[in-house]
Amino acid sequence: MLTLDMVLAVISQPALMTILAISAGLAWPLGRRARPDRPRLGALFVFTLGAVLSATAITVSWRPSPVLIPSYLDGFGDPAYLVGEFAGSREKIANIGLFLPLGLLAGLLWRRPAAILGLLAALTFTIELWQAFIGRGGDAVDVVHNTVGALLGLMLAGLPTRLRPGRLPSP
Protein backbone atom coordinates (compact mmCIF):
# COMPACT_ATOMS: atom_id res chain seq x y z
CA MET A 1 0.00 0.00 0.00
CA LEU A 2 1.31 3.41 -0.99
CA THR A 3 1.68 5.72 1.99
CA LEU A 4 2.35 9.44 2.33
CA ASP A 5 5.77 8.61 3.81
CA MET A 6 6.66 6.66 0.66
CA VAL A 7 5.59 9.53 -1.58
CA LEU A 8 7.55 12.05 0.50
CA ALA A 9 10.62 9.80 0.46
CA VAL A 10 10.51 9.79 -3.35
CA ILE A 11 9.86 13.47 -3.97
CA SER A 12 12.47 14.56 -1.43
CA GLN A 13 15.30 13.08 -3.53
CA PRO A 14 16.32 15.53 -6.28
CA ALA A 15 18.43 12.98 -8.20
CA LEU A 16 15.58 10.49 -8.30
CA MET A 17 13.11 13.17 -9.42
CA THR A 18 15.57 14.33 -12.09
CA ILE A 19 15.85 10.83 -13.58
CA LEU A 20 12.06 10.45 -13.52
CA ALA A 21 11.62 13.82 -15.23
CA ILE A 22 14.21 12.96 -17.90
CA SER A 23 12.50 9.60 -18.43
CA ALA A 24 9.13 11.29 -18.82
CA GLY A 25 10.60 13.76 -21.31
CA LEU A 26 12.33 11.07 -23.36
CA ALA A 27 9.55 8.47 -23.18
CA TRP A 28 7.52 9.62 -26.17
CA PRO A 29 10.35 10.46 -28.63
CA LEU A 30 12.34 7.32 -27.80
CA GLY A 31 9.26 5.14 -27.51
CA ARG A 32 8.09 6.16 -30.99
CA ARG A 33 11.49 5.27 -32.41
CA ALA A 34 11.58 1.90 -30.66
CA ARG A 35 8.39 0.77 -32.39
CA PRO A 36 6.74 3.35 -34.67
CA ASP A 37 3.73 1.03 -35.00
CA ARG A 38 3.30 0.90 -31.20
CA PRO A 39 4.45 4.30 -29.89
CA ARG A 40 2.46 4.22 -26.63
CA LEU A 41 3.87 0.86 -25.66
CA GLY A 42 7.38 2.05 -26.54
CA ALA A 43 6.90 5.21 -24.47
CA LEU A 44 5.66 3.16 -21.52
CA PHE A 45 8.73 0.93 -21.78
CA VAL A 46 11.11 3.93 -21.80
CA PHE A 47 9.37 5.51 -18.81
CA THR A 48 9.34 2.19 -16.91
CA LEU A 49 13.05 1.75 -17.60
CA GLY A 50 13.66 5.25 -16.25
CA ALA A 51 11.61 4.49 -13.15
CA VAL A 52 13.62 1.31 -12.52
CA LEU A 53 16.88 3.22 -12.95
CA SER A 54 15.75 6.00 -10.62
CA ALA A 55 14.75 3.46 -7.97
CA THR A 56 17.94 1.43 -8.21
CA ALA A 57 20.78 3.72 -9.27
CA ILE A 58 20.36 6.52 -6.75
CA THR A 59 21.55 6.74 -3.17
CA VAL A 60 20.89 9.32 -0.49
CA SER A 61 24.47 9.26 0.77
CA TRP A 62 26.97 9.13 -2.07
CA ARG A 63 30.02 7.10 -0.95
CA PRO A 64 31.76 5.84 -4.09
CA SER A 65 34.21 3.10 -3.31
CA PRO A 66 35.32 0.05 -5.26
CA VAL A 67 35.81 -1.85 -1.97
CA LEU A 68 32.36 -3.50 -2.10
CA ILE A 69 32.68 -4.70 -5.69
CA PRO A 70 34.69 -7.89 -4.96
CA SER A 71 32.17 -9.10 -2.38
CA TYR A 72 29.35 -8.45 -4.86
CA LEU A 73 31.14 -10.46 -7.56
CA ASP A 74 31.99 -13.25 -5.08
CA GLY A 75 28.26 -13.82 -4.54
CA PHE A 76 27.99 -15.27 -8.06
CA GLY A 77 30.39 -18.07 -7.11
CA ASP A 78 28.08 -19.55 -4.48
CA PRO A 79 25.00 -21.25 -6.03
CA ALA A 80 23.50 -21.98 -2.61
CA TYR A 81 23.64 -18.26 -1.82
CA LEU A 82 22.08 -17.32 -5.16
CA VAL A 83 19.02 -19.55 -4.88
CA GLY A 84 18.76 -20.14 -1.13
CA GLU A 85 15.42 -19.04 0.28
CA PHE A 86 14.28 -17.98 -3.18
CA ALA A 87 11.64 -15.25 -2.89
CA GLY A 88 11.80 -15.71 0.88
CA SER A 89 11.32 -12.06 1.81
CA ARG A 90 9.40 -8.99 0.71
CA GLU A 91 12.57 -7.46 -0.69
CA LYS A 92 13.23 -10.51 -2.88
CA ILE A 93 9.65 -10.51 -4.14
CA ALA A 94 9.92 -6.78 -4.80
CA ASN A 95 13.05 -7.44 -6.87
CA ILE A 96 11.08 -9.92 -8.97
CA GLY A 97 8.28 -7.38 -9.35
CA LEU A 98 10.69 -4.61 -10.28
CA PHE A 99 11.81 -6.25 -13.53
CA LEU A 100 8.55 -8.03 -14.41
CA PRO A 101 7.06 -4.94 -16.14
CA LEU A 102 10.27 -4.42 -18.12
CA GLY A 103 10.18 -8.03 -19.33
CA LEU A 104 6.49 -7.78 -20.16
CA LEU A 105 6.77 -4.51 -22.08
CA ALA A 106 9.95 -5.56 -23.89
CA GLY A 107 8.33 -8.88 -24.80
CA LEU A 108 5.32 -7.05 -26.24
CA LEU A 109 7.56 -4.70 -28.21
CA TRP A 110 10.14 -7.11 -29.57
CA ARG A 111 9.95 -10.79 -30.45
CA ARG A 112 13.42 -11.92 -29.37
CA PRO A 113 12.89 -13.23 -25.86
CA ALA A 114 16.38 -14.72 -25.42
CA ALA A 115 18.03 -11.44 -26.45
CA ILE A 116 15.68 -9.43 -24.25
CA LEU A 117 16.33 -11.67 -21.25
CA GLY A 118 20.08 -11.41 -21.82
CA LEU A 119 19.92 -7.61 -22.03
CA LEU A 120 17.74 -7.29 -18.93
CA ALA A 121 20.03 -9.67 -17.01
CA ALA A 122 23.01 -7.56 -18.09
CA LEU A 123 21.14 -4.43 -17.01
CA THR A 124 20.43 -5.77 -13.53
CA PHE A 125 24.03 -7.02 -13.21
CA THR A 126 25.26 -3.52 -14.11
CA ILE A 127 22.82 -1.82 -11.74
CA GLU A 128 23.94 -4.02 -8.85
CA LEU A 129 27.59 -3.41 -9.73
CA TRP A 130 26.86 0.32 -9.69
CA GLN A 131 25.13 -0.03 -6.32
CA ALA A 132 28.20 -1.79 -4.93
CA PHE A 133 30.37 1.05 -6.25
CA ILE A 134 28.24 3.84 -4.75
CA GLY A 135 28.08 2.17 -1.35
CA ARG A 136 24.52 0.85 -1.61
CA GLY A 137 25.71 -2.76 -1.44
CA GLY A 138 25.01 -4.56 -4.69
CA ASP A 139 23.87 -8.15 -4.25
CA ALA A 140 24.15 -11.09 -6.64
CA VAL A 141 20.85 -12.46 -5.29
CA ASP A 142 19.11 -9.32 -6.54
CA VAL A 143 20.42 -10.05 -10.04
CA VAL A 144 18.83 -13.51 -9.88
CA HIS A 145 15.50 -12.18 -8.63
CA ASN A 146 15.40 -9.30 -11.12
CA THR A 147 16.20 -11.70 -13.96
CA VAL A 148 13.44 -14.07 -12.83
CA GLY A 149 11.08 -11.07 -12.84
CA ALA A 150 12.13 -10.23 -16.40
CA LEU A 151 11.61 -13.88 -17.41
CA LEU A 152 8.12 -13.93 -15.88
CA GLY A 153 7.28 -10.71 -17.76
CA LEU A 154 8.52 -12.24 -21.01
CA MET A 155 6.42 -15.33 -20.36
CA LEU A 156 3.34 -13.16 -19.77
CA ALA A 157 4.05 -11.25 -22.98
CA GLY A 158 4.13 -14.53 -24.91
CA LEU A 159 0.82 -15.81 -23.54
CA PRO A 160 -1.46 -14.17 -26.16
CA THR A 161 0.46 -15.89 -28.97
CA ARG A 162 0.34 -19.26 -27.25
CA LEU A 163 -3.35 -19.00 -26.42
CA ARG A 164 -4.57 -18.15 -29.93
CA PRO A 165 -7.17 -20.53 -31.32
CA GLY A 166 -5.47 -23.07 -33.50
CA ARG A 167 -2.34 -23.05 -31.36
CA LEU A 168 -3.87 -25.26 -28.70
CA PRO A 169 -3.53 -29.01 -29.13
CA SER A 170 -6.75 -30.76 -30.04
CA PRO A 171 -8.19 -33.20 -27.46
Kindly state whether residue 112 falls inside one of the protein's structural domains.
Answer: yes
Residues 52 and 71 in one domain: no
What is the number of domains present in the chain?
Answer: 2
144 within domain boundaries: yes
**Distance, C-alpha 107 to centroid of its chain:** 13
- Same domain membership, residue 80 and residue 148: yes
The single-letter code of the amino acid at 97 is G
> What b/e string do you get for 3-25 counting C-beta neighbours within 10 Å, with b at 16 or more?
eeeeeeeeeebeebeebbeebee
pLDDT for the residue numbered 31: 87
Q: Is residue 164 part of a domain?
A: no
So what's the pLDDT on residue 143?
97
Note the pLDDT of residue 171.
47
* Identity at 100, one-letter amino acid code: L
User: What pLDDT is recorded for position 47?
Assistant: 92
- Please check whether residues 20 and 87 belong to one and the same domain: no
Which pTM was predicted?
Answer: 0.84
Residues 75 and 146 in one domain: yes
Residues 144 and 73 placed together within one structural domain of the fold: yes
Low-confidence ranges of the chain (pLDDT < 70): 1-2, 6-7, 10, 161-171
Whether residue 115 sits in one domain with residue 33: no
> Could you list the residue range(s) of the whole structural domain that residue 79 is in?
65-159
Q: Which residues, in sequence order, are CB contacts of 66 under 8 Å at separation 6+? A: 133
